[in-house]
């Protein structure tokens, strides 16, 4: 339940205002060099307080590795790690002890478990995703050995999207990090930042869409029927806090089209079978076909507003509520590395599983 993956498996623990977050990464291929600085870089991309358009909670999010690495390399044994919490203002949440915030997990956790750590959302806080970024950063480094890379970027904030002729597969990952909203198109990025600052000013929040791209996949990843590659990616993405939708290839829009318009005609490239177009988004019958995988994840505007709302008590009394915690006006910029992490872990897991289930002799 708190474990992701079948072979490459991340188990996470930790609450928003507890002593530490952390996790265990199991099924890590052995004898692979790991750059720990690179992992910290990924965590820094997710870190709160990194820019003016994200929460100003101050956490250094330094990861400490406890096992599984020896002389800079993976040993095939589980990698245990922790990230200590520092800047938690738990008293900000005292008024939530007996009141549930609207559109939050307070009520559902309390009902399911009969108890909850109400400080900062406890386990339901997106702070848990820091552990995912660690898992993803390690997965990325292993995937690099296979020539596989993955990147994601903010493609929509509110109603502001990328130009229709923008080519998502040709993005240079450096352009994503060139601005604080993590949108590779400079002009769009500026408009998005303006929009976020505007909603922030009024204590409101805004949603958006993140696009993910996976490049360099061999043909054959993904298990047909229930564990199709798109099903595993969907589960991974929909497990991210605030995610409301997942689509790949032509997605929802492609449904309005005719089959004859959507077929990806075959071609050959450097002696390899490929397709002229990529409406399918890199997967056929649940199995990677060697083209880029392209997908989109919709994120809702988070429900923590810096304006007065109305909570409810366990016994059903409505109660005025003014949240004091520090929160993101828009989760998109910080969700980009999380989407990448989930994609990298999903693909590596498929790759390792595929080694067990594919043609072997």
**Piece in contact with its own copies (CB under 8 A), picked from 40-48, 169-177, 185-193, 230-238:** 230-238
SS3 (DSSP) at 10: strand
Q: Are 243 and 299 in contact (CB under 8 A)?
A: yes
**Piece in contact with its own copies (CB under 8 A), picked from 47-55, 162-170, 180-188, 285-293:** 285-293
Q: Is residue 270 a contact residue for its own copies (CB under 8 A)? A: no
Site for its own copies in 133-152 (CB under 8 A): 145
Site for its own copies in 85-104 (CB under 8 A): 100, 102-104
CB of 172 to its own copies, least distance (A): 25
Q: Is residue 263 a contact residue for its own copies (CB under 8 A)? A: yes
Site for its own copies in 289-348 (CB under 8 A): 289, 298-305, 307, 309-312, 316, 318
Contact with its own copies (CB under 8 A): which of 113, 187, 194, 197? 113
Q: Is residue 59 a contact residue for its own copies (CB under 8 A)? A: no
Q: What is the Cβ-side half-sphere exposure of residue 358, based on CA atoms within 13 angstroms?
A: 13
Q: Is residue 62 a contact residue for its own copies (CB under 8 A)? A: no
**Piece in contact with its own copies (CB under 8 A), picked from 53-61, 88-96, 174-182, 353-361:** 353-361
Q: Is residue 120 a contact residue for its own copies (CB under 8 A)? A: no
CB of 43 to its own copies, least distance (A): 17
Q: How far apart are CA 22 and CA 115, in angstroms?
A: 22
Residue 302: CB atoms within 10 A of its CB come to 20
Question: Burial code of 269-292, b = ≥16 C-beta within 10 A, e = fewer?
Answer: eeeeeebeebbbbbbbebbbbbbb
**Piece in contact with its own copies (CB under 8 A), picked from 52-60, 166-174, 175-183, 257-265:** 257-265
Task: Supply the Cα-derived Rg of the chain in whole angstroms.
Answer: 21
Q: Give Cα 2 distance to the centre of its chain.
A: 15
Find tokens 């009141």 and name the residue: 99
Is 110 or 173 the residue whose CB approaches its own copies more closely? 110
# binding residues, its own copies (CB under 8 A): 150
Q: Transcribe 145-189 into DSSP letters.
A: HTT-EEEEEEEEETTEE--TT--GGG--HHHHTTSTT--SSHHHH
């Amino acid at each position: 339940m708190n474990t992701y993956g079948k072979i490459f498996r991340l188990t996470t623990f930790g609450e928003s205002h507890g002593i530490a977050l952390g996790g265990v990464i199991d099924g890590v291929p052995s004898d692979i060099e790991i750059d720990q600085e690179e992992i910290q870089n990924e965590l820094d991309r997710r870190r709160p307080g990194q820019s003016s358009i994200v929460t100003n909670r101050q956490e250094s999010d330094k990861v400490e590795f406890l096992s599984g690495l020896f002389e800079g390399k993976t040993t095939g044994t589980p990698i245990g790690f922790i990230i200590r919490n520092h800047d938690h203002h738990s008293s900000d949440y005292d008024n939530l002890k007996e009141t549930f915030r609207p559109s939050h997990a307070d009520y559902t956790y309390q009902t399911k478990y009969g108890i909850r750590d109400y400080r900062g959302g406890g386990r339901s806080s997106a702070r848990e995703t820091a552990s995912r970024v660690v898992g993803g950063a390690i997965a990325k480094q292993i995937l690099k050995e296979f020539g596989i890379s993955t990147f994601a970027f903010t493609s929509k904030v509110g109603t502001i999207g990328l130009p229709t002729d923008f080519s998502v597969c040709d993005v240079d990952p450096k352009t994503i990090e060139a601005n604080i909203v993590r949108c590779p198109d400079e002009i769009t990025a500026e408009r998005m930042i303006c929009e976020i600052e505007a909603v922030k000013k009024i204590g409101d929040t805004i949603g958006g869409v993140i696009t993910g791209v996976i490049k360099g996949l061999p043909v054959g990843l993904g298990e047909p029927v229930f564990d199709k590659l798109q099903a595993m990616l969907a589960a991974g993405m929909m497990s991210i806090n605030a995610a409301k939708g997942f689509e790949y290839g032509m997605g929802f829009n492609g449904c309005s089209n005719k089959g004859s318009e959507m077929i990806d005609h075959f071609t050959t490239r450097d002696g390899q079978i490929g397709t002229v177009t990529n409406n399918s988004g890199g997967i056929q019958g649940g199995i990677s076909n060697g083209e880029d995988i392209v997908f989109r994840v919709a994120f809702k505007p988070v429900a923590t507003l810096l304006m007065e709302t109305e909570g409810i008590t366990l016994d059903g009394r409505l109660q005025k509520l003014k949240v004091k915690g520090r929160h993101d006006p828009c989760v998109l910029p910080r969700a980009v590395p999380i989407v990448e992490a989930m994609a990298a872990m999903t693909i590596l897991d498929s790759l390792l599983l595929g080694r067990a289930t594919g043609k072997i002799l």
